[in-house]
A and B are shown apart, each in its own frame.
Chain A
Amino acid sequence: MSDPETQTIEADVLVIGGGTGGPMAAIRAKEANPNLRVVLLEKANVKRSGAISMGMDGLNNAVIPGYATPEQYVKEITIANDGIVHQKALLAYANGSYDMIRYLDKLDVRFEKDGAGDYAVRKVHHMGTYVLPMPEGHHVKKVLYRQLRRLRIGVINRYMATRLLRGADGRIGGAIGVNTRTSEFLVIRARTVVLACGAAGRLGLPASGYLFGTYENAANCGDGHAMAYHAGAALANLECYQINPLIKDYNGPSCAYVTGPFGGYTANNKGNRFIECDYWSGQMMLEFWRELESGNGPVFLNMRHLAPETIGEIETILHSNERPSRGRFHARRGTDYRHRMVEMHISEIGFCAGHSASGVWADERAQTTVPGLYAVGDMASVPHNYMLGAFVNGAIAGQEAARFCAEVDLPMPDAEMLAAEQARVLAPTRRADGLTPFEVEYKTRRLVNDYLAPPKITAKMRIAQERFAEIREDLDSLVARDPHELMRALEVQSILDCADMAAAASLYRTESRWGFYHFRVDYPETDNDDWFCHSLLCKDAEGRMAHRKRAVDSYVVPVDATEMTAYQKLRIAPAQEAA
């Protein structure tokens, strides 16, 4: 490949990632000040990118007056996340939740309503009521796209951001992108940057061995986490992995959130319930894993007892929204919800605050530790965020960025850094042979499964670090024969960064917490004396991975000590189980 051209553009607000939180950040920045130059950069195409590519089947964290209060929600997530939360960020989300639902409703996103026109909220969580079904939720991306067009937001598709730029004073200064079809370079100088790159979902390897059969949209491979790390931003609690109960082999949910309110439930091979609550938490995953290991596995989702009309309704929701190919998957194996339970299994590991809690540190204003840099959605550290959290925090970031960029000038990028990054990015195109991105990715992710997936064992994680260091040397042999392969070659470097961060963060926290997510065999107890704190990981001045603790801010919503253990009592008592 000959050397591609480099183009430079300027923006006031640069949003990286056009999935869920990204478009909302761009929309809100532009609504806050229509004169701003807002640019939305997307690796795929905003029409169908991100976690909600095919829509969403429901809101999992709707805080709607009459059903729940923001304070109740903050308390529930504080308990579900073993107390390690930045409550101010949870409260900012909860306070914005209802307004966002009404805003989306106005834009024509459809939510389930009862006969009186009120939102039909259901209970799935252990304590409160927060689930609002979206039987017609397949068109969310179309609604967002329409609003982006209406506001004339500058969308740049098929460009992958590779590194963030910082000004001499440490402030954010923009990003470098590369076209995934031509390898052309783009330098975007910007006053503010909102990172919305989704989960690090291509970290563990699905049991099928299919690299792209991940729970998360496989485009979400941790680019955002890696970029934030290299720009010096802190990442929080990365040892709190995301692991999900999914349909065995098909890496989508069965899904208990949808079927639970209709009467579906998680069962063992005897058809018995073993957990009190199907809401995804580390504690629930621990019980799920124990059941799989106990001889009572596999674990299933049981709907056989439901009325045919109810099953029909469930099929309509599950087979037309979010992951519609699951219907096709079941049909081929002859799995009919009426007659057979759906076999489930544990997903590969990843980082995703949408369902779990780890990611780039973001406070109640979506600010990272780098001035002018914001992070939202699955890649930011606000726990149990889900789609609505990405929208609300995206909106917060958009408004904050609009405000901040009015106060600052455009930093000058460092020419040396730009040249070095161009050399790094293009290196795989300079070789005629070597290692393919596929091989390097497969090996990295296979090692993630072998050594990093819980139960976490110190000796295994240290071996992982040795193997990752070897692979890091192999990066100098990566070969990319076309721009598409170059995108994969760049992605595998983000994946390796995330694998290294997962190992380092897991070794740092010498206790067990968050149920299965950080179950350390060598430190099986939760140690509140030493570890009731956030763990922050960042790149130090020498370019090494460094760690520090951050105290949990005093709660704005007090939680009683007796309530704090509610999520640790999810297993149904044996007597009850037998009954």
Chain B
Amino acid sequence: MPLAAHDASVPVVVDEAKCIAAKGCTVCVDVCPLDVLAIDLVRGSAFMKYDECWYCMPCEVDCPTGAVKVNIPYLLR
């Protein structure tokens, strides 16, 4: 069976102006229990790669620059 892409709005938003992933920071990626965040090497910032958020918030709380915001996923808002 061929696969089709399925787009979704994601709950975790990263402020690229504040994110210091370009300097080597990976704190939010490291602490995520579901491993849904990744670093975009071209943009030099973290982003939510997989729509599998538990909205638990370590990424937001542990971010050293306050760049990460966890919203409630749309389906349960």
Determine if chain A interacts with chain B.
yes
Which residues of chain A have C-beta atoms less than 8 A from B13's C-beta?
none
Which residues of chain A have C-beta atoms less than 8 A from B2's C-beta?
433
A339 within 8 A of B: no
The 8 closest A-B pairs by CB, nearest first: A208-B76, A48-B58, A48-B31, A210-B75, A44-B33, A249-B76, A325-B55, A208-B75
Which secondary structure characterizes the binding site on chain B? loop
> How many angstroms from the CA of A302 to the CA of B69 in the assembled complex?
30
The verdict on A49 contacting B76 (CB below 8 Å), with A54-B56, A54-B58, A211-B52 known, is: no
Name 19 interchain pairs, CB-CB below 8 A, sorted by A.
A44-B34, A48-B32, A49-B33, A54-B56, A54-B57, A208-B75, A210-B75, A217-B33, A218-B52, A218-B54, A249-B76, A250-B72, A325-B70, A328-B71, A328-B72, A329-B76, A332-B77, A435-B1, A477-B1
B15 within 8 A of A: no
Let me know if A212 and B54 touch, CB within 8 A.
yes
> How many angstroms from the CA of A219 to the CA of B35 in the assembled complex?
9
14 extra A-B contacts, CB within 8 A, seeds A324-B61, A325-B57, A479-B3 = A45-B32, A48-B32, A53-B58, A206-B76, A217-B54, A218-B52, A219-B33, A249-B76, A323-B56, A325-B70, A333-B77, A433-B3, A438-B6, A488-B52
Partner of B73, one of A45, A48, A210: A210
Which residues of chain B have C-beta atoms less than 8 A from A433's C-beta?
1-3
> How many angstroms from the CA of A540 to the CA of B4 in the assembled complex?
41
B40 within 8 A of A: no
> How many angstroms from the CA of A325 to the CA of B71 in the assembled complex?
8
8 A Cβ contacts from B4-49 to A: 6, 30-35, 49
The verdict on A45 contacting B75 (CB below 8 Å), with A158-B35, A325-B57, A433-B2 known, is: no
Closest CB in chain B relative to A467 CB, distance in Å: 19
A403 within 8 A of B: no
Which residues of chain B have C-beta atoms less than 8 A from A214's C-beta?
54
Which residues of chain A have C-beta atoms less than 8 A from B70's C-beta?
325, 328
A180 within 8 A of B: yes
A186-213 interface code vs B (CB 8 A; 1 in, 0 out): 0000000000000000000010111111
Which residues of chain B have C-beta atoms less than 8 A from A158's C-beta?
35
Residues of A in contact (CB 8 Å), total 42
B55-67 interface code vs A (CB 8 A; 1 in, 0 out): 1111001100000
Which residues of chain B have C-beta atoms less than 8 A from A435's C-beta?
1
B68 within 8 A of A: no
> How many angstroms from the CA of A371 to the CA of B33 in the assembled complex?
31
| B49: nearest chain-A partner, CB-CB | A484
> How many angstroms from the CA of A452 to the CA of B32 in the assembled complex?
31
Let me know if B1 and A434 touch, CB within 8 A.
yes
The verdict on A45 contacting B31 (CB below 8 Å), with A210-B73, A433-B3, A477-B1 known, is: yes
A-B contacts counted at CB < 8 A amount to 92
Which residues of chain A have C-beta atoms less than 8 A from B33's C-beta?
44-45, 48-50, 53, 217-219
> How many angstroms from the CA of A328 to the CA of B61 in the assembled complex?
14
Let me know if A484 and B57 touch, CB within 8 A.
no
The verdict on A54 contacting B76 (CB below 8 Å), with A48-B31, A434-B1 known, is: no
Closest CB in chain B relative to A426 CB, distance in Å: 19
Which residues of chain A have C-beta atoms less than 8 A from B57's C-beta?
54, 324-325
8 A Cβ contacts from A151-175 to B: 158
Which residues of chain A have C-beta atoms less than 8 A from B62's C-beta?
48
> How many angstroms from the CA of A262 to the CA of B53 in the assembled complex?
32
Let me know if A487 and B35 touch, CB within 8 A.
yes
The verdict on A212 contacting B34 (CB below 8 Å), with A53-B56, A325-B57, A433-B1 known, is: yes
Let me know if B32 and A44 touch, CB within 8 A.
yes
| B30: nearest chain-A partner, CB-CB | A45
| B77: nearest chain-A partner, CB-CB | A332
> How many angstroms from the CA of A552 to the CA of B14 in the assembled complex?
54
A422 within 8 A of B: no
Which residues of chain A have C-beta atoms less than 8 A from B32's C-beta?
44-45, 48
Which residues of chain A have C-beta atoms less than 8 A from B73's C-beta?
210, 213
| B59: nearest chain-A partner, CB-CB | A48
The verdict on A484 contacting B54 (CB below 8 Å), with A45-B31, A54-B61, A435-B1 known, is: no
Let me know if A212 and B76 touch, CB within 8 A.
no
8 A Cβ contacts from A91-133 to B: none
Partner of A47, one of B30, B72, B75: B30
Let me know if B53 and A212 touch, CB within 8 A.
yes
Closest CB in chain A relative to B27 CB, distance in Å: 9
Which residues of chain B have C-beta atoms less than 8 A from A458's C-beta?
none
A436 within 8 A of B: yes
Which residues of chain B have C-beta atoms less than 8 A from A324's C-beta?
57, 61
Closest CB in chain B relative to A221 CB, distance in Å: 10
Which residues of chain B have C-beta atoms less than 8 A from A488's C-beta?
52
Residue among A45, A209, A251, A435 having the largest count of chain B Cβ atoms under 10 Å: A45
Which residues of chain B have C-beta atoms less than 8 A from A305's C-beta?
none
